[in-house]
Amino acid sequence: DQVLQGRLLKEHKVKEIIQKEKKEEEIIDEESIREDLKEGIQDEILHGEVDNEEQQEGDEVGIADEQSGVQSGQQSEDRFAEAMRHGLMEPDVEITEYVGTEAGFSGILKERRKETLSIYILHHILTFAKICLPAGCAMRWEKGRPKYCRFAVYKENIDTNAVFLSVRPCDDRVTAERMVALNRALPNARVGNFQYVPRPLRLGDLQGNHFTIVLRNISGSKEQVDKAMCSLRDVGFINYYGMQRFGTTAIPTYMIGRAILRDQWDEAVDLVLKSRPGAERTHTIRCREVWTRTKDSRAALKELPDQRGVEAQLLLGLIHHGKPGPAAFSSISRNTRLMYVHSYQSLLWNRAASLRRHKFGLHAVPGDLIQRGGTVVVLGKDDEEETSINDVVLPLPGYEVKYPTNCVGDAYRTWLAEDGLQPAQLRHRVRDYALAGTYRSLIVRPTDVTWKITPYDDPNIPLMPTDVDIMEGRSIEPFPAEGALRALHLAFSLPPASYATMAVREVLKMDTSIRNQSQLNSKLPSCRSYSTMATPTSV
């Protein structure tokens, strides 16, 4: 009886911690939002454990605290540089091939400076709705008003998930009047364009994304740039999963996913919690050190003042369930857990895409998988001449997909076997980790492609107005007729789940990882600390 009572008491205490955590998350307080976003975003970058394909281009950046002065800004810069020194580069995740054979040129995609310099502007293309939240009872609800509040989000240097953690309503419903008050609390983010609609945003509403990008300090001639951009427009790029899919730390997310699929729960837990090279927040470092040294969940948890992160969630699960396993691991949010196993699938897809491009070039060959309407078939010799490379798809490994019948299909099975897996084993006993598999186009050809080269002299001036600049009537300085530096303005649209960084990679023929970009930045004249501007908005 005493043992049972002790166990019940322990479970009760853990439930109290979890309930307290949930209540804290639901409090919409302007000061706490500011502090959470300022302190939490950089930590999220260093962990690299967020994968949101609609945020995917440009969210691997930190935010400098302007109010803390130059010294604090330099410390933030040093932490970022140290973290990126141990970050992944493209060959680490099997990104090795290009479509075009023309010479590349250098350009800075992610520039770390004070002003709005290297810019991503992302517009989501939706068939029906913008982002929707249930509307309602925080203020008087008018009779006959539609059920959902639709609105647009503008953000700079903030992860999409961080914004929605802040805008999530305490009540089941929330009015536009209440939502607009968040503009006073959200740093570098705005909500607006409110409209009440009868249905929420649903899977399938997203048709694609339109990107407007500035690449600074390009080295290529106009002829080189035009040739590369025409190739991107007319041929396309290899549809690799970008670096964001795999995290930014020395421990990539696919390693955790592989351990999960092999039911190696001790290893999966340790990969999430153990110490790693690179800079992190002080309390996270202490937590990892305690775990690595003692494997004591309670002692490690005490080092985390904020118990909303992945590490804290996992430690709470270990305390509650007593040992590593599916139950303890399920204390991590479902999206994050799925991201781990999907990252492993993505790694094998990238590897297969590189092999396919290297072996067979840009022509469909017998044994390839071809997408025809909603059906995937194996290409035979009789149809080879009539089939385009744009019809070729590769599978994300799973228990329900077909595999190519040429050497690429054999390679899938070899890679899985080397990792101790077989395609049939991907029907995992834990339903969340059961991977049926799907198909992804090998080559993607962007639409709405435009570009121009702009000369400039001052590396600290913005080269493109943001949506907020346009809304508030702010203009940028006119460009000089000639300048010591040149920037490439490019814009294009991509289907859902395709990465703009991979399109830019095809143009530049260079590594787009933050690690490589930070090395490029280190060669530029010194300037005050800046974190890359990323400004997605919905249309």
Contact (CB, 8 A) for 299 and 319: no
Nearest to 452, CA basis, from 289, 270, 257, 213 = 213
Distance CA 496, CA 395 (A): 17
Contact (CB, 8 A) for 173 and 142: no
Sheet with 533-538, side-by-side order of all strands? 447-456, 485-494, 206-215, 119-126, 533-538
Contact (CB, 8 A) for 288 and 343: no
Residue type, 246: F
- Which residues of 336-431 form beta strands (DSSP E)? 369-372, 375-378, 392-396
Contact (CB, 8 A) for 260 and 345: no
Which residues share a beta bridge with 393? 369, 441
Nearest to 93, CA basis, from 531, 521, 515 = 515
Q: Tokens at residue 173, please?
A: 């419903």
What is the enclosing helix (H) or strand (E) of 395?
strand 392-396
Q: Tokens at residue 262, please?
A: 């092999």
Contact (CB, 8 A) for 80 and 62: yes
Distance CA 465, CA 475 (A): 7
Distance CA 216, CA 230 (A): 20
Q: How far is CA 179 from the centre of its chain?
A: 25
Which residues share a beta bridge with 372? 375
Pairing state between β 119-126 and 533-538: parallel
Q: Tokens at residue 409, please?
A: 């299909």
Which residues share a beta bridge with 395? 439
> Is 36 labeled as catalytic in the residue annotation?
no
HSE-up (13 A, CA, CB side) for residue 239: 23
Pairing state between β 131-134 and 148-155: antiparallel
- Which residues of 421-509 form beta strands (DSSP E)? 438-441, 443-444, 447-456, 485-494
Distance CA 255, CA 93 (A): 11
CB contact set of 264 (below 8 Å; sequence gap of 6+): none
Contact (CB, 8 A) for 175 and 424: no
The active-site residue, picked from 29, 78, 171, 172, is 171
Distances (CA, A) of 89 to 55, 84, 95, 349, 517: 20, 10, 9, 17, 10
Nearest to 218, CA basis, from 492, 463, 535 = 463
Residue type, 260: I
- As annotated, the active-site residues are 171
